């Protein structure tokens, strides 16, 4: 192990794992953190703590929540201040997975919550205002974050002119760097942007010094909902970008084809020696299908190929929202994917149909479907075993996977304005846990785990983070 300052001081967080295998073998999570937001922006958003320890009498229940002091944030993605990659890069004096950094996608504020000394009841310790993000990095609308070299990497959808809350911050979007310990905004990460303009996710291959970014749309393209004219004109993002991680220099743009709109979640291999990963696209404007693509490195260049296609599902017009009735079908709308820490299983969340699909990706070029469970959906909704008479509203959306790959957590809201378009009857918040078979494949809904509705105080829920780390928040430095 590379000696770092926190090693020399005898302080090493046991949830920072040297290898993927170490992460898989670590004790299971006992808590999950879930963000909730008020779509009307009239009540404070909140962070909820859900008990995931089956030995606890509070299993499957919300044990506590902390409300934010301001309104209109629309909490969306969030993450830890430190992860396993801290074992091989500088910047931490005492690397510890302790703070949750919670951006407001609509407000551009960052809220820092301390999970120590009481992990059940995190405390708000700092708010970074939108003006600081705009002035120091030139960005707004913070979206996704990961602890990395030189600081915490924070992807942002908009430019600095969106700091006042207007939706005119049309970019370019990009990546801001935050100090690992003070959370002050340092600067923009990019040194040579090249053709990149739209932004969404950011991840990397740490040992290869390669970063990857993806594309959704600028704030004006998303904040009032999906814009049909922009979609049909193929103006949402449809490319991924490769960068030199250490310098922020753009290396290559790979276009997935402009019919494949909205290239979103990046899931690189957890094996630090590998240089491949998956990205999803939300909708094909020609046939309403959705897809998952694999990137690989070949002779110094990156190539991307489609490896999964989900077709649209025919449905009676009376079961469809107004926007879909002319098509007579439900688009799958892949809005999230998650790759297990052992790189064996890929989970695909189809928010339109409500399906959560499990694929064996032992051969990433040839994913094999091994299980599918319907959780809500626009048409043909299913109920939860704990409430068999009430069909689930919304659909399978954000998916998070435990480090050992045995537990899958799913929530049902995408983004307030988009929720209303595809689920105009409303979305009652829920969180569902599924048990996964990690030998031959398989999924089953846990009937005893179902926080929903009043448990979340009526706030819609989006991303989940697991105590001690999860499948989508860590990168690893060593193979063994």
What pLDDT, on the 0 to 100 scale, is given for residue 162? Answer: 53
Planar angle of CA 273, 277, 280, nearest 5 degrees: 170
- Domain locations in the chain as residue ranges: 5-466
Of 180, 132, 172, the closest CA to residue 155 belongs to: 172
Classify residue 22 as exposed, middle or buried by CB count within 10 Å of its CB (0-12, 13-18, 19+): middle
Q: What is the largest CA-CA distance in the chain?
A: 65
What pLDDT, on the 0 to 100 scale, is given for residue 8? Answer: 36
Q: Which residues of the chain have pLDDT under 50?
A: 1-10, 163-168
Q: Which long-range contacts (CB under 8 A, 24 or more apart) does 5-13 make?
A: 5/92, 5/93, 5/94, 6/92, 6/93, 6/94, 6/95, 6/96, 9/93, 9/94, 11/94, 11/96, 12/95, 13/82, 13/95, 13/96, 13/97, 13/98
Nearest-angstrom CA–CA distance, 10 and 97: 16
What pLDDT, on the 0 to 100 scale, is given for residue 12? Answer: 81
What tens digit of pLDDT does each residue of 222-237 get?
999 999 999 999 999 9
Q: What tokens were used for 265?
A: 């979640």
Q: Is 206 helix (H, G, I), strand (E, B) or coil?
A: coil
Q: Is 95 helix (H, G, I), strand (E, B) or coil?
A: coil
Scanning the structure block, which residue is given the tokens 């009735």? 325
What pLDDT, on the 0 to 100 scale, is given for residue 131? Answer: 96
Alpha helix stretches (DSSP H) within 14-129: 20-25
Q: Phi/psi zone of residue 22: left (φ > 0), alpha (ψ -120 to 50 degrees), beta?
A: alpha
What pLDDT, on the 0 to 100 scale, is given for residue 185? Answer: 98
Nearest-angstrom CA–CA distance, 72 and 107: 6
Q: Is the peptide bond prior to 28 cis by the omega test (within 30 degrees of 0)?
A: no
5-466: CATH topology: Methylamine Dehydrogenase; Chain H (2.130.10)
Residue 103 backbone dihedrals phi, psi, to 5 degrees:
-80, 150
What pLDDT, on the 0 to 100 scale, is given for residue 4? Answer: 39
User: How many residues belong to the chain?
Assistant: 480
């Amino acid at each position: 192990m590379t000696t770092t300052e926190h090693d020399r001081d005898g302080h090493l967080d046991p949830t920072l794992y040297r290898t993927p295998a170490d992460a898989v073998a670590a004790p299971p999570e006992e808590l999950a953190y879930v963000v909730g937001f008020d779509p009307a922006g009239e009540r404070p958003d909140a962070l909820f703590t859900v008990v995931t320890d089956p030995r606890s009498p509070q299993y499957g229940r919300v044990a506590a929540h902390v409300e934010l002091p301001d309104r209109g944030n629309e909490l969306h993605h969030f993450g830890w201040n430190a992860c396993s990659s801290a074992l091989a890069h500088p910047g931490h004096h005492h690397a510890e997975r302790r703070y949750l950094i919670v951006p407001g996608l609509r407000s551009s504020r960052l809220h820092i919550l301390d999970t120590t000394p009481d992990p059940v009841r995190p405390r708000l310790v700092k708010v970074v205002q939108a003006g600081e993000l705009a002035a120091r990095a030139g960005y707004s609308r913070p979206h996704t974050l990961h602890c990395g070299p030189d600081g915490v990497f924070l992807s942002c959808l908009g430019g600095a002119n969106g700091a006042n809350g207007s939706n005119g911050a049309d970019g370019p979007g990009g990546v801001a760097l935050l100090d690992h310990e003070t959370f002050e905004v340092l600067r923009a990460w990019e040194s040579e942007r090249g053709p990149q303009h739209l932004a969404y996710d950011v991840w990397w291959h740490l040992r290869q010094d390669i970063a990857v970014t993806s594309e959704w749309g600028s704030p004006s393209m998303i904040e009032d909902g999906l814009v049909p004219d922009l979609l049909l004109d193929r103006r949402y993002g449809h490319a991924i970008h490769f960068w030199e991680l250490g310098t922020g220099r753009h290396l290559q743009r790979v276009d997935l084809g402009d019919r494949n709109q909205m290239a979103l979640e990046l899931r690189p291999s957890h094996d630090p020696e590998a240089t491949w990963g998956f990205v999803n696209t939300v909708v094909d404007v020609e046939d309403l299908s959705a897809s998952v693509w694999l990137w690989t490195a070949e002779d110094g260049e990156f190539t991307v190929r489609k490896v999964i296609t989900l077709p649209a599902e025919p449905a009676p017009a009376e079961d469809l929202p107004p926007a879909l009735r002319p098509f007579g079908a439900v688009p799958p709308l892949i809005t999230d994917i998650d790759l297990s820490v052992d790189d064996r299983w890929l989970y695909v969340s189809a928010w339109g149909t409500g399906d959560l699909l499990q694929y064996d990706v032992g051969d990433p070029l040839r994913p094999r479907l091994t299980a599918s469970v319907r959780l809500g959906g626009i048409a043909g909704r299913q109920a939860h075993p704990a409430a068999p008479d009430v069909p689930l509203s919304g659909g399978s959306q954000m998916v998070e996977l435990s480090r050992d790959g045995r537990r899958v957590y799913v929530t049902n809201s995408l983004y307030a304005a988009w929720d209303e378009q595809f689920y105009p009857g409303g979305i009652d918040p829920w969180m569902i846990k599924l048990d996964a078979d990690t030998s031959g494949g398989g999924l089953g809904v846990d009937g005893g785990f179902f926080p929903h509705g009043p448990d979340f105080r009526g706030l819609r829920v989006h991303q989940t983070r697991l105590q001690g780390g999860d499948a989508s928040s860590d990168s690893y430095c060593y193979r063994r």
